[in-house]
Structure 1
Amino acid sequence: MTLHDLVPRRLCGDLSLQPLGIGSGTSRWDPSASCLDDGRMLDGLRRAVESGVDLVDTADWYGSGHAERLIGKVLREFPGHTVHVASKVGHVRGSAAHPYAGPRLRHQLEQTLENLYLDALAIYTLDSYDFGLGDQYLDPVIAQMQAMRDLGQIRAIGLRGPGSRGSVRLMRRFRELFERIKPDVVWTQANGLLPLAVLEDGEDLGAFTARQGAGLVVASPLAHGALAGGRPARAQSTLGGRSMADADVATLVITQGLEELAVRFGGAPGTLVRLALRFSLQTIANAVVIVGVGDERQVETCLSCLGDPLSDQELLEVADVFSRIRTGLQDPAGGIPAAEANV
């Protein structure tokens, strides 16, 4: 990634990263890749490292540690490359009473570092808001996370942020935990169809984290593949204001919007991916954007299609289409209303 506008972004402290990273989850935007095998995933990770990607996002529960082990295999093949890894914790209990009980957090970090062949993580994110009855494990977890950061085992403490469809109760819970944990980084999912969460006071998560001096890691910029033109129905459960029983309607609503973008910006391969990634990269200034791709071809598409930045006018046009897709998903009977400017 050598594009002039994609310079490293400071997330926190002295941790600065390229603005586009890669996630190790299953690919969801290629219609032919419902399940990636290890070989394709490894090829994708290798291509990402070769291209200069310096952040790989994963979690200990992705394949019960299998994703971490695949990443570790690739990192050993590129000893001269500086690649940071972010992982998450909070769902794997093992034989402990709770995922956050006792020394479980420290033991899980040790296992993650062993899987990755690393001495330290860039970001270690608390992925669950469940800290036991009465938050009995919260204070010990905070102390452990701070100690691991002080010892250099992790560079940044992360906390999962709420999605835009989170309840008021969830938003309040996030604010409560943020104030107590004081994370360096917040991890969330957002894209053109699923905007950043807006907190109770009307401030969105990007503005909130920037004001608090925390970095932001944004995953799913392609909306589970919907914005790349592949299997839009896969995203229907996370988009819009209600669940849609008819997947064909979701497909039609999203496809109509994407066709409008293709007419406006051209139908060259990678155009839709470029628009979705550029939209996230340019509208969320304090974030590293994580694209969940897997095989080599997908990685190459994402890293080679970015081109020049979108102009302010182009960003407005893309945002308008995304907004009308969201409206159509919330009210599928109404379809996608045409933009007045295009009538």
Structure 2
Amino acid sequence: MVHSVKLGKSNLNVNPIGLGTNAVGGHNLYPNLDEEQGKDVVRQAIESGVNFLDTAFIYGPERSEELVGEVVKESGKRDGLVIATKAAHKFINGDTTLDNSPKFLKESVDRALKRLQTDYIDLFYIHFPDDDTPKAEAVGALKDLKDEGKIRSIGVSNFSIEQLEEANQDGYVDVLQSEYNLFKRQAEEDLLPYTAENNISFVPYFPLASGLLTGKYNENSKFNDLRKDHPLFQGETYKENLKKVEKLRAMAENKEVEIAHLVLAWYLTRDSIYAIIPGAKNAEQVKNNLKTLDVNLTQSEIDQIDQIFQ
């Protein structure tokens, strides 16, 4: 399998298995994170040939970018890495609002450059749409930053199809990041066809549905984090979901991989999904995610997985 793919119409080449770093310094998302362990995750990724690192202002906030920046700097491998970050959240008197205004985006990029200790950001996303800024205007501000060399490519995240169409009216959008997994397939109706047609890379987040698609849970598993209120993890729905995942076990065992590898490999067969960014809480998980690249799915296996999760 190819170990380098191009993201959309950008000139960014990445290993198809990237690293989502919300558990690296994302103290507002996960309780009791160990920062040194988080840095080890990033170190392991870089050492293992993972060159696509995904972070954001709101992870921490700020702390994930700082830790990623520290490790990248010490690695001396900045040139070979593709760093993606995002902004849109703004704190006003303790409240969080979203801001896509050109002024805010430009300030956000400057601040992220400092935290990441770098001169340029390879991929910069508008993290969430706000209610007021025309999307083409917001993307236009990122085009200015690209022309100045502060960012190398333009992304949007969590945009609806209408917002994406507006954002991309001048053809400037390179990457869309949005929720997509075998349990949440709405993107197949509009976003994925649009990205495929317009040469935009689609980077799915929550690809393993917060761990539900790993095959590691059962009816007695207990959750005390984001998952305890998540619809996929409630009552009968949860039991039905576990049954679907269980149907993948024989196929995974036959290939001598884990269910998670099978699932991640399936996403890479979708039009416009060239790269995925599974998270990791320890260095072992980073190495484990890379086993996805050894999975070759036949067309009938691809169809079978598709049907189980219809």
- Shorter-chain TM range is 0.7 to 0.9
In 2: Cα distance, 1:99 partner to 1:174 partner: 16
Number of equivalences = 296
CA contact (8 A) 1:277 1:306 kept: no
Following the alignment from structure 1 to structure 2, what is the Cα–Cα distance between the partners of residues 98 and 318?
A: 37
Q: What is the match of residue 328 of structure 1?
A: none
Q: Which residue of 1 aligns with 2:27?
A: none
For residues 106-125 of structure 1, the aligned pairs below 5 Å read 106-125=106-125
**What code does the residue aligned with 1:89 have?**
A
Shift of 1:182: 3.7
Whether the aligned pair in 2 keeps the contact of 1:188 and 1:218 (CA below 8 Å) is yes
Deviation at 1:251, TM superposition (A): 3.2
Deviation at 1:237, TM superposition (A): 6.5
Question: Could you say which residue in structure 1 is the equivalent of 2:203?
Answer: 217
Alpha carbons 1:9, 1:16 under 8 Å: kept: yes
Aligned to 2:48: 51
Distance in 2 (alpha carbons) for counterparts of 1:267 and 1:25: 32
Q: Is contact 2:201–2:274 with CA below 8 Å preserved after alignment?
A: yes
Mapped partners of 2:144, 2:207: distance in 1: 33
Tell me, yes or no, if structure 1 residue 90 matches structure 2 residue 88: yes
Indicate the percent of aligned positions where both proteins have the same amino acid: 23
Task: Specify which of 19, 30, 38 is matched with residue 22 of structure 1.
Answer: 19
Indicate if the aligned counterparts of 1:225 and 1:235 stay in contact, CA closer than 8 A.
no
Structure 1 stretches (4+) deviating beyond 4 angstroms?
93-98, 137-140, 230-238, 267-270
Residue 267 of structure 1 and its aligned partner are, at CA, apart by 8.1
Point out the more displaced range, 173-182 or 43-52.
173-182
Q: CA deviation at 1:125?
A: 0.8
Preserved contact between residue 201 and residue 272 of structure 2 (Cα < 8 Å): no
AA aligned opposite 1:191 = N
Name which of 314, 318, 341 aligns with 2:301: 314
Question: What SS is found at the alignment partner of 2:269?
Answer: helix
**In structure 2, what residue type is equivalent to 1:83?**
L
* 1:259 Cα deviation from its structure 2 partner: 2.0
Contact 1:68 1:116 in 2 (8 A): yes
Q: Give the whole-Å Cα distance in 1 for the aligned partners of 2:299 and 2:172.
A: 34
SS in 2 for 1:20: coil
Asked whether the equivalents of residues 153 and 174 of structure 2 are also in contact (C-alpha less than 8 Å), the reply is yes
Q: Which residue of 1 aligns with 2:179?
A: 189
Distance 1:40 1:209 in 2: 36
Give me the whole-angstrom Cα distance separating, in 2, the residues matched to 1:319 and 1:58. 30
Q: Equivalent residue for 1:287?
A: 274
The alpha carbon displacement at 1:206 in A equals 2.6
Matched, 1:146 2:143: yes
Q: Which residue of structure 1 lines up, in the alignment, with residue 39 of structure 2?
A: 42
Which residue of structure 2 aligns with residue 278 of structure 1?
Answer: 265
Post-superposition offset of 1:176: 2.9
1:74 aligns with 2:74: no
Write the distance in 2 (CA, Å) between the matches of 1:182 and 1:297: 37
Q: Are the equivalent residues in 2 in contact too, given 1:275–1:318 (CA < 8 A)? A: no
CA distance in 2, matches of 1:207, 1:213: 10
Deviations 1:305-336 (A, max 9, x none): 5423111111112222222xxxxxxxxxxxxx
Give the letter aligned to residue 110 of structure 1: D
**Given that residues 159 and 178 in structure 1 are in contact (C-alpha distance below 8 angstroms), is that contact kept between their aligned partners in structure 2?**
no
Q: 1:175 aligns with which of 153, 165, 175?
A: 165
Instruction: Provide the aligned C-alpha RMSD in A.
Output: 3.0
1:11 is aligned to 2:12: no
Give 1:177-256 correspondences, 5 Å limit. Answer: 177-179=167-169, 182-195=172-185, 197-199=187-189, 204-230=190-216, 243=231, 247-256=234-243
**How much does 1:229 deviate?**
2.6
Q: Secondary structure at the match of 1:217?
A: strand
Task: For structure 2, list consecutive stretches of 5 or more residues without a partner in the other structure.
Answer: 25-29
The amino acid of 2:180's aligned partner reads A
**Whole-Å Cα distance in 1 between the matches of residues 278 and 199 of structure 2?**
24
Q: Does the CA contact (< 8 Å) of 2:44 and 2:287 recur in 1?
A: yes
TM-score by length of 2: 0.83
Cα deviation digits, residues 94-133 of structure 1 (max 9, x gap): 689973456322221111111111111111111222153x
1 CA distance for matches of 2:303 and 2:72?
40
Give unpaired runs (5+ residues) of structure 1. 28-32, 163-169, 324-343
Query: SS at 1:186's partner residue?
Result: strand
Larger radius of gyration: 1
Contact residue 121 and residue 151 of structure 2 kept, 8 A: yes
- How far off is 1:273 after superposition? 1.2
After superposition, the Cα gap between the structure-2 partners of 1:80 and 1:175, relative to the gap in structure 1 and judged at 3 Å, is closer
